[in-house]
Structure 1
């Protein structure tokens, strides 16, 4: 990383994981990288970021006819799960057998956590694992977006590796690259945002006050979920 030390990421991730440990949930909470730009792109921006490890705590397969030998790291889900895909997707990445029809609107609602798979392909499991390591950075309006980079069940070093990789990839692909990056933070849905980087002359205080006024809306891979107002740095 060229604009700040890896130790900054390690400290922030360690603090966040400690907080998550003291605020347990039934399923591991996601960890986000918040990317705040100085200037919003003129056109809609979208880029795929490849992480060293999957940021999802699990991979599930929805199929009426799953393979006789399902890989140990992929769990079966009944076809009835298609009736509530966003809820099922919150548990991790969901693979859906191409032979099943996803109810209208459900696939769009959980776009990046629902991956169609062809079980006739002998390499479907490898393709699924590769898909689990990819997340989307999208900027449609405004200057801040959240990218899922880990979960509460990850080891600290694993989470650090993912955050570092996401930071480097995000800064390399946004318009004007690092010159357009105002700030980077790491957070869980209900935690405060912990700073990783701010551009020269940019502090966190102004962003914190803005977050108090506006609250935080986290958009994770196409799913817009309103969150309660927070008292720390947030998004435009």
Structure 2
């Protein structure tokens, strides 16, 4: 088996970009911490659609909420309890966090799926399992890299309230995991950026001979569209201008 290509990411580039982004977020406060995204741009789109779980050292979500009509005896202090009615209209702050949903809940007409799921990142949990909290925390550290077409994708890797070192560790882990699972690995990575929904994209890496301002397919708006799609999937509601 051929050895995996060595990492091409410089940690100091991540530290510099993350620090600048966190400073920007501090100067532009919001009611709830803004998500931080890794923007992955490939040289060539994969032939087949693929999905891959990236495990991060720290949860990228600033909060966790449990939607249930029963109170677990061991509910941790850092998990907020919400009634089942909250699924129909999740609070704004919850849309940026992780929502745990009691697996016994069923919404009429929902086909077993939680209503309002597209407004927040929801994970079903079995409260009868003694290890449900550990399972929930593990789920909170996993994000999905899903490539359906095109050469650009956004992955949530942090939030504006994270300590800088934790955000850096998450970005580095996400980059290495993503580069290891995409076709042709690092040889197919054109550029990497980090950004929040309203900030500029800050560069982390650009392949030799390429420019972060130019895509091979000539589509300079692709990163913005992919970020918008990921933000919609992960429950961010864009603020009116």
TM range (shorter): 0.7 to 0.9
Unaligned runs of 5+ in 2: 1-5
Q: How many residues align?
A: 226
Unaligned runs of 5+ in 1: 229-236
User: Counterpart in 2 of 1:223?
Assistant: 233
- Give 1:53-68 correspondences, 5 Å limit: 53-68=58-73
User: Counterpart in 1 of 2:28?
Assistant: 23
Which 4+ residue blocks in structure 1 deviate beyond 6 angstroms?
224-228
Q: Equivalent of 2:38, from 10, 29, 33? A: 33
Shift of 1:98: 1.0
Whether 2:146 is the aligned partner of 1:141: answer no
- Give 1:154-165 correspondences, 5 Å limit: 154-165=162-173
Supply the distance in 2 between the matched residues of 1:93 and 1:136 (Cα, whole angstroms). 14
Shift of 1:226: 9.4
Supply the distance in 2 between the matched residues of 1:141 and 1:135 (Cα, whole angstroms). 19
Q: Equivalent of 1:117, from 125, 135, 138? A: 125
Shift of 1:67: 0.7
Whether 2:203 is the aligned partner of 1:198: answer no
Shift of 1:89: 4.7
User: Counterpart in 1 of 2:3?
Assistant: none
Shift of 1:90: 1.6
Whether 2:78 is the aligned partner of 1:70: answer no
Q: Which deviates further from its counterpart, 97-106 or 23-32?
A: 97-106
Q: With the length of structure 2 as denominator, give the TM-score of the two structures.
A: 0.85
TM-align CA RMSD: 2.6
CA pair 214-204 structure 1, distance change in 2 beyond 3 A:
closer
- The DSSP-based 3-state class of the residue aligned with 1:206 is coil
Shift of 1:87: 5.2
Structure with the larger RCO, 1 or 2 (CA within 8 Å, 6+ apart): 2
- The DSSP-based 3-state class of the residue aligned with 1:115 is strand
CA pair 184-86 structure 1, distance change in 2 beyond 3 A:
farther
- The DSSP-based 3-state class of the residue aligned with 1:17 is helix
Supply the distance in 2 between the matched residues of 1:98 and 1:4 (Cα, whole angstroms). 40
Q: Which deviates further from its counterpart, 192-201 or 218-227?
A: 218-227
1:72-127 CA-partner distances (Å, limit 9, x unpaired) = 2211112111102595652300000011114637466258x211111010000010
- Give 1:96-135 correspondences, 5 Å limit: 96-102=101-107, 104=110, 106=115, 109=118, 113-135=121-143
- The DSSP-based 3-state class of the residue aligned with 2:89 is helix
Q: With the length of structure 1 as denominator, give the TM-score of the two structures.
A: 0.87
User: Counterpart in 1 of 2:196?
Assistant: 188
- The DSSP-based 3-state class of the residue aligned with 2:15 is helix
